[in-house]
Amino acid sequence: MRVVSLVPSLTEAVAVTLPGVLAGVTDWCSHPAGLAVTRVGGTKNPAIERILGLAPDLVLANEEENRAPDLDALRAAGLEVLVTEVRTVPQAFRELDRVLTACGATARPGWLDEAEAAWTALPEPPGRTRAVVPIWRRPWMVLGRDTFAGDVLARLGVHHLYATHPDRYPRVPVDELRAAAPDVVVLPDEPYRFTADDGPEAFPGLPCALVSGRHLTWYGPSLAEAPHVLAAALRAAHR
C-alpha cells in the first residue's frame, strides 16, 4: 500500500501502526517526530499535482479538516479517497478501525485497545465544570455544537457553554465570553497557539487551563493518554 494522509491525527495512527505505508503527508503532520516522507502542502491547500505524482493507492481525508473541492479533484484524477467523520470519542475508535483496515492492517493495534480502555474506564465526573473553549483569536472563535473536542471535554466533566450554538465554531466577542462567567477558560495550543503569554490576559480573574491541542482534538495514539493529560491541565487551572 501507498497512502497519502491529509489529516495529522490519521498520519500518526498509520505511521505508528504500519511503518512504511505513508508516501505523503501534510506540512502540519508533526507526529511521529522525524517522519521522513514527502510533504504535500496544508490540510486546506494540498498540492494536488504532487499527490498525483506519488501515485497513492489511497488518500486519507476528513470532512472537517479538508476541503471538498480538493477531494473531488483527487477523485476525478482516479484516486481513491477515504473520508472520515469524527464528532465523538466512540466514533473516533470506529473510524480508526476503518482507516487502519483500509491501509492494510490485518489486526487491531495494541495502542487502539489501550486508548479505548482508557476512555471506557473513566469514572463518572463528580460534577460539571462550565467552560468556554476558544480555538482562535482575531477574531475570537470558540467550540460550538457537535464537535469531537466538545465530546472529549464532556466525558471529563467539562460542559462548554456554546455546546448548543447553531454554529460548530461560532465567532463570539471576547467581552461576551468574559460575561458568560465560566468556571474555566480552556485554551488549546492548536489550531491557534495559545500560551501563558497569549490568551489568559484576555480573561482577567478567570482560571485558564492551557491544554495540548493534540490531546484535545486528535484521534490517534494520543487518545490513550489524553484523559490523564487533559484532566491534569484542568486541575492545574484551579490551583
DSSP tag of 199: S
Same domain, 150 and 77: no
Please tell me whether residue 130 adopts helix, strand or coil conformation.
strand
* Residue 176 confidence class, pLDDT cut points 50, 70, 90: very high
Closest CA to 41 of 28, 31, 53: 28
Q: Tell me the pLDDT tens digit for each residue of 65-124.
A: 999 999 999 999 999 999 999 999 999 999 999 999 999 999 999 999 999 999 998 887
Same domain, 10 and 92: yes
The reply to whether 134 falls in a domain is yes
The reply to whether 124 falls in a domain is no
**Cell numbers for 97:** 478501525
The reply to whether 122 falls in a domain is no
The reply to whether 165 falls in a domain is yes
Closest CA to 177 of 195, 160, 191, 156: 160
The reply to whether 217 falls in a domain is yes
Name the residue range of residue 198's domain.
129-236
Q: Tell me the pLDDT tens digit for each residue of 4-45.
A: 999 999 999 999 999 999 999 999 999 999 899 999 999 999
Residue 212 and residue 153 in contact, taking contact as beta carbons nearer than 8 Å: no
